[in-house]
Amino acid sequence: MNANTSRQNAAAREEGDQLFDRTTRDLPPGRHQFHKERMMAQIHEARQTGLTAAGTKATAPAKARRLRLPRPAIALPALAATVAAVIGAVLVTSGGPAGPGGVATGPALTTTIGVASAEDAPRLLDEIALAAADGTHPVARPGQYIYIESKTADTFVRTVDGESSLASHALHTRQVWQSPDGTKGWLIDPAVNDGPEGETLSLPDEQGNTPRANLNAPSYDYLAKLTTDPDTLLAKIYKETEGHGNTPDQQAFTTIGDLLGESYPPAELVPALFKAAAKIPGVVVVDDAVDAVGRRGVAVARLDETSGQREEWIFDKKTHHYLGERIVQVNRVDGDDLIKPGTVVFTSAIMKRAIVDGIRQTPSHSG
């Protein structure tokens, strides 16, 4: 995620930069900014709950600002003793406010761990690729914006005065606008923004940088230039993510999953992504999976042996339309007594994906 963090105070930023530099050197491209934002939010919350990152009392509490955690699969080193050790994202069944800084604590949403079958994965992905090739897919033109609306929920482990507990953002609507070249954008997400208007994602960023699009932070124009040959595409994914993630195969699967979620791959690329995914070792089918709004479907999935989490891409069983994603804790991780097997550690549902003519414009108002 590239949400603007300009409203965070300078002290927290400097503090976070130092911790970030020491602890995230081995993260894959595109994840550094996300984990940096998450850590900033944790430091900010520690201040608001009467703690600083050094363990001293804060003098003036203020409203906490939390950032969304869409990718809990990377195993991170400890950031600091008083900063929360983030285990994953969890939808909770009891709640509090879903507005900015609204945090709910309660039991995590759990599920029966679905039976996985490796035998059916190639056939299902081939059917999904065929369905994607037959669908309508408008082309994004310069001056337009890609609009993606989703429902998401997540949770983190929060540590206050040495006591750790689950805290979460309730299920809420997330809206993202991005220009085809990736230089202009807007984000409205109650779990991220300080106000209902949202905040800019436009480049250059507040440091004056204009990062180039890449596989982990793609623009529409960047995706349009990728090869549509599945073997060549998969080789590119492995090469450009080499050394990142917990394993090369898991990182390749996660990279493709990111492209299916909050991006807009051109029509010719979508089938190639599914065909490339079918070539990744360890990909399985989970016959029953549920997205963030309760739509049942079939999932293409892969288990990350390091984190014990299974990433599931959920599709409608009849149409093979992409519904959303969830990440389920399948195996217990040593040292973690909070996130147990069967916990849904992240959930999302894509509600709208469209081309609109203006930033902050929704399909119903696009004429």
User: What number of H helices and E strands is found in the chain?
Assistant: 7, 10
Q: What is the pTM of this model?
A: 0.75
Confidence label for 31 from pLDDT (cuts 50, 70 and 90): very low
> 145-160 and 296-304: which strand pairing?
unpaired
Please report the pLDDT score of residue 135 as a whole number. Answer: 75
Give the DSSP letter string of 172-221: EEEEEEE-TTSS-EEEE-TTT-SSTT-EE--SS-TTS--PPPBTTB--HH
Lowest-confidence segment of 11-25, 108-122, 210-224, 279-293 by average pLDDT: 11-25
How confident is the model over 235-248, as a mean pLDDT?
Answer: 95
152 DSSP 8-state letter: E
Q: What percent of the chain has pLDDT over 90?
A: 53
Q: Tell me: the pLDDT tens digits for 78-136?
A: 333 223 333 233 333 333 344 444 445 555 677 889 999 999 999 999 999 999 998 77
Residues 6+ apart with CB under 8 A from 268: 228
Preceding peptide of 230 cis, ω within 30°:
no
Instruction: Using the predicted structure, report yes or no on whether residue 335 has a pLDDT greater than 50.
Output: yes
Please report the pLDDT score of residue 105 as a whole number. Answer: 55
What gap in Å lies between CA 217 and CA 179, rounded to an integer?
13
Please report the pLDDT score of residue 166 as a whole number. Answer: 73
Instruction: Using the predicted structure, report yes or no on whether residue 247 has a pLDDT greater than 70.
Output: yes
Higher-confidence residue of 46 and 124: namely 124
Buried b (16+ CB within 10 A) or exposed e, 155-172: bbbbbeeeeeebbbbbbb
Structural tokens at position 186: 């807007």
How confident is the model over 291-301, as a mean pLDDT?
Answer: 97
Lowest-confidence segment of 18-32, 93-107, 130-144, 283-297 by average pLDDT: 18-32
Q: Phi, psi at residue 67, to the nearest 5°?
A: -115, 150
How confident is the model over 302-327, as a mean pLDDT?
Answer: 96
If we measure between CA atoms, which residue out of 365, 361, 364 comes closest to residue 184?
361
Q: Tell me: the pLDDT tens digits for 72-88?
A: 333 333 333 223 333 23
Q: Tell me: the pLDDT tens digits for 185-212?
A: 999 998 888 888 999 999 998 888 899 9
Please report the pLDDT score of residue 198 as a whole number. Answer: 94
CB 38 within 8 A of CB 12: no
Q: What is the largest CA-CA distance in the chain?
A: 60
Instruction: Using the predicted structure, report yes or no on whether residue 10 has a pLDDT greater than 80.
Output: no
Question: What is the torsion angle, in degrees rounded to the nearest 10, for the CA atoms of residue 96, residue 98, residue 102 and residue 106?
Answer: 40
Question: What is the torsion angle, in degrees rounded to the nearest 10, for the CA atoms of residue 184, residue 190, residue 192 and residue 196?
Answer: 50
Please report the pLDDT score of residue 339 as a whole number. Answer: 84
Instruction: Using the predicted structure, report yes or no on whether residue 4 has a pLDDT greater than 60.
Output: no
Please report the pLDDT score of residue 297 as a whole number. Answer: 97
Please report the pLDDT score of residue 206 as a whole number. Answer: 80
What gap in Å lies between CA 268 and CA 276, rounded to an integer?
13
What gap in Å lies between CA 231 and CA 217, rounded to an integer?
21
How far is the first Cα of the chain from the last one, in angstroms, to the nearest whole number?
29
Buried b (16+ CB within 10 A) or exposed e, 333-348: beebeebeeebbbbbb
Q: What is the mean pLDDT of the chain?
A: 76
How confident is the model over 349-360, as a mean pLDDT?
Answer: 96
Residues 6+ apart with CB under 8 A from 349: 150, 151, 152, 291, 292, 293, 295, 323, 324
Interhelix angle 269-277/248-260, rounded to 10 degrees, is 150
Please report the pLDDT score of residue 207 as a whole number. Answer: 86
Q: Where is 344: in which H helix or E strand? A: strand 344-356
Residue 289 sits at the vertex; the CA angle it makes with 193 and 323, to the nearest 5 degrees, is 50
Instruction: Using the predicted structure, report yes or no on whether residue 353 has a pLDDT greater than 90.
Output: yes
Residues 6+ apart with CB under 8 A from 309: 72, 73, 88, 303, 327, 328, 329, 330, 345
Q: Does residue 304 sit in helix, strand or coil?
A: strand
CB 108 within 8 A of CB 343: yes
Instruction: Using the predicted structure, report yes or no on whether residue 265 has a pLDDT greater than 60.
Output: yes
Higher-confidence residue of 68 and 119: namely 119
Q: What percent of the chain has pLDDT over 70?
A: 69
